[in-house]
Structure 1
Amino acid sequence: MKRMVLKLLPLLISLIWLTKASAVAPISLAKNNCTQKCGNVSIPYPFGIGDGCYINKWFEISCNHSFRPPRPFSKSANLEVLQVSWLQGTVRVESPVVSDYYDPEWVFNGTNARVDLTGSPFFYSETDNRFAATGCDNLAFSIQDADVIGGCMSICNVSTTSPNGCYGISCCQTQIPFRVQIFNVNITSTGVKNSQYGWRSAFLVEKNWFSSLPYNNISFSFNFLEARYVPAVLEWGIANGTCELNRTTNSCSSASCSTDAYCSKNGAQDSYNCYCKKGYSGNPYLAHGCQDVDECKDPKTNICQWDCYNEVGSYWCSCPPGYFDFSHGDGTNCVKASELRSKVVGLVLVNSPVVLDCPDPSFKTGGNHERVNLSGSPFFYSDTDNKFVATGCNNVAYMKNGDVIGGCMSMCSKNSTTVPNGCYGIGCCQTKLPSRLQIFNVLITDTAERYPQEECRSAFLVEKKWFSNLSHEHPYYKFLDLRIRYVPAVLEWGIANGTCELNRTTNLSSSASCSTDAYCSKNGAQDSNNCYCKKGYSGNPYLPHGCQDVDECAEQKPNRCQWGCNNTMGSYRCSCPPGYFDFSSHGVSRLRLSG
């Protein structure tokens, strides 16, 4: 079983990346100026029709035009070709049925082989084929080099009930040995005499085709009495070079593989197959047969949330302006910048006071006046989400905390009738805040060039997003007449009743007031922390059981499963349906192994 899985791995890798090529231009299968099809069958290189179109004599195909449509035949194996796969390294052929109805005794008694592939690069696939025998009183052996290498026994049906399947009553089947190249059969008797009469047969057959046949005790056996050939699968490899994997470039050395391809031994010491590298598809046996796949055009491979950019052999995602890449740099989880702060920091939006200095004393709140003092609390003005703003003519506004810690100057629009387009010093100024500001203390004074004060001057801490969205023509912007007293501002906060110690192993909180299935993180203060639900959970991380499992299977964006999705606590699992192989270790990529 282990050997079978290892043999399938290169095939599965190429199968995954072939599925990406659905939106790519048609790929040339044969060599230039060579016939690509015989009848309805494609003939890809290394096989070929005509001189110079195949890699060596073993892969030469003849196209028999006496049939309508024409049929291809392998000249070396003398078998009709039904399908060629360079991707799987197989060729599907019509393999003969040996019976004691049509064939002479020297054929069905094991004296002469019906198929002999000795010395060729072809062998019957033990993965895809079965040895089968039909009829009553049939003990059928498979022989190679005069030795019995397998067989099965098909006995007569003494019941009035027809058997439902090929399990020993009028039909038997068994696996075949590794790398069978000779099909030689001996049909003999089981030794159990029975009055039932019938002809007997034995054959190598493609297991998927055989198992899909409708089974009936009489008609099933009769079908193989009439049949002369059944489909079977031959594996093949290239034997004219040594396959040496270059671990650095993943390319072939002295092997007949394409650029951007690699080679892998197919089970024989002197034989290998070629496969396009990840991010490429095409015929890996042609000189430049492996072409770049545009993953961005295929929804199965493009997992970008927003923008996808193809590059040779791969692709990359990016987030649009105004979004933050929250996926460790791969662009698959873009979060709007305005939403990101709420995701990662405890915030509270408040009405913060405006300090006014007006000619009318009833509206005068300026001077050297402390309006907000948050000292000792878990709150502070966010330096990320707020800015300090001053408006009016002839206004020098300072932020103070004992010492001057910031400020800006708003000058008069002298000799100009044009309204300034923005808050850049004429009638309005703005600047950043210091980190973790807890005291809002403002001093409004005059510029060196004094003008008569005819309107209110103001200073305030304000949410920069709200302030930036104001129209410069709006009366709120100049803070005239309406004398607004409060503007929105953002305070950050944290919990200060526990020490936040991140457990690196379990990512749980220790002595912090966080929910089960949450973790804590310091928010910049030594004695303050915030709580966050762990990945796969959502809710209020401060409540005892506030973080609840997220059902990713019910959400389209987090759920990347191609088939079945099974929610688990804190995560989810993908699964593949019967007949598919999970090549991603978690069900994201699936490959059908049959059909």
Structure 2
Amino acid sequence: MLHAHAASGKPVSRCMSQAKLVVATVLALELLLVATAVADGPVALSGCPEACGNVSVPYPFGFRQGCFRKGFNLTCNETGHQPKLFLHDDVEVDAISLADGTVHVQSKTVHAAWSDPIRNGTRTPSLIYSNGSWFGGLTGTGGQQLAVSSEHNVFVVIGCNFIGYLVAPDPFCSAPRHVSACAALCDASSPGTEPEEYTSCSGVGCCRTIFKGDLDNMEAAAVYQVMFKHLVHDTEAVYPAWYTPSESVAAFIVDHEWFNGNAGVMLNNTFGSYDHWGSLSPVAVPTVLIWWLEQERDRDIVFYDPNISRRRCLSLNSVVTYVTGFAIRCSCLDGYEGNPYMRDGCQDIDECLQPVVYPCHGTCINMPGTYRCSAKKRIINLPGLITIIAIAAGFGLLFSVLGVGQVTKKLKKRRAKKFKQKFFKKNHGLLLQQLISSNKDIAEKMKIFSIEELEQATNKFDHNRILGCGGHGTVYKGILSDQRVVAIKKAKIVVQREIDQFINEVVILSQTNHRNVVKLFGCCLETEVPLLVYEFIPNGTLSYHSWPK
């Protein structure tokens, strides 16, 4: 509702009030044509708690029976003063993100001690091999859809003259596989160095390195092993009796952004004494896990919608993105926010309430998935006011009877256009346009068709136009506007890495001229999977022509 306000101490004239009433009437009639939602929808299933303490718990996660999907169950400990959320009882959860598919947890560090007996007045460090299990809430079983993020974390070793190894089980071999390793080195003069120098993890007393997870082979979802090897014994070094070497070593997988800001504090706590190295105490550090859904396993929540010709989650206004060949994640479309894994979870946002993000130098009107910014309306003089009100009322009645269908149609067209632009960009259409415009030979033999052209050529992909079906897709007979008879191949869903090689192979096929090879006239990139337009062969099929790999 719109309100007319007057500055303090300055009366508003009756003429101005009536004029503003007219403006409010016109705007109210326009607002009746669209449905808006200014509040975010629920993030958890009906009847399920949405948070544990200060941590939001969105579905598919949950901690009560019937509130989570298999593999996403958590524990909320409500016995203390502040409830805490845990992953498998002893790993505390700090945050869960639907947007980037991450879970922030507090993981334990792995420690090992070593012996350095005094013999003949000197310390002779003994060789040590030690190992332990790093545990960040992962079970190492196939049913859990959680893994350590190699993008957000680093492997860190803190100690003196130690090598730390990060080891993961190999699914194809009984022996474990080394994932990462780094060495933290010191010498006899290190304890005499001012502790202020130890404010970064640069290899002296502390080392860090990246590691590569392999989500396709499910290695990143396993429990890592940490192994230590002491280096002093290998050189048979002997230290003076006054020298106190590092009594322990620690290794951990940690969020690299957090560690960048806290490395100095951890090192000062460890090596804070001027005359000796200190001992490490067990601590917890923040670690980032990733989570996902599986295309086959979660078909009840992720599916192909023929009405919009794309994959989506339960929420109508959602879209699917591929993390790997089998792992997928959902998100809301632009202009919507909420939980895409729930029915009606993605709710329209009111862009007019966020003028900094969505600027409007006029009158802002929220619409489903977008907003409209109309020019500021001038104050209308009193003469002709009754006429304007009558006209506005008449137009309002007319719009309410006839305009709703037009508005709905326009909104559908706008949404369809947005999807076409998105798929065109995703399928590298801009790159193909650039190749065609820069190469005259390609331009003469290759054309980028619109989806409207191919729908008109096939009578909207009528079943009577089907020439054949196979494992890769369906082939339709079509007649273009220039009366050319063509065969249009509509392939099934492919993963993104196959589409990434698509453009180069299309260009190669369009240049191929051989009597045994069917000519490729062009393609359409405005659908989730590109469509191919071939020369029509009356006495043959396209079954032997494979989809570009």
Using structure 2 for the length normalisation, give the TM-score: 0.49
Normalized per residue, the structure richer in strand is 1
Greater length-normalized contact order (CA 8 Å, ≥ 6 residues apart)? 2
Taking structure 1 as the reference length, the TM-score comes to: 0.45
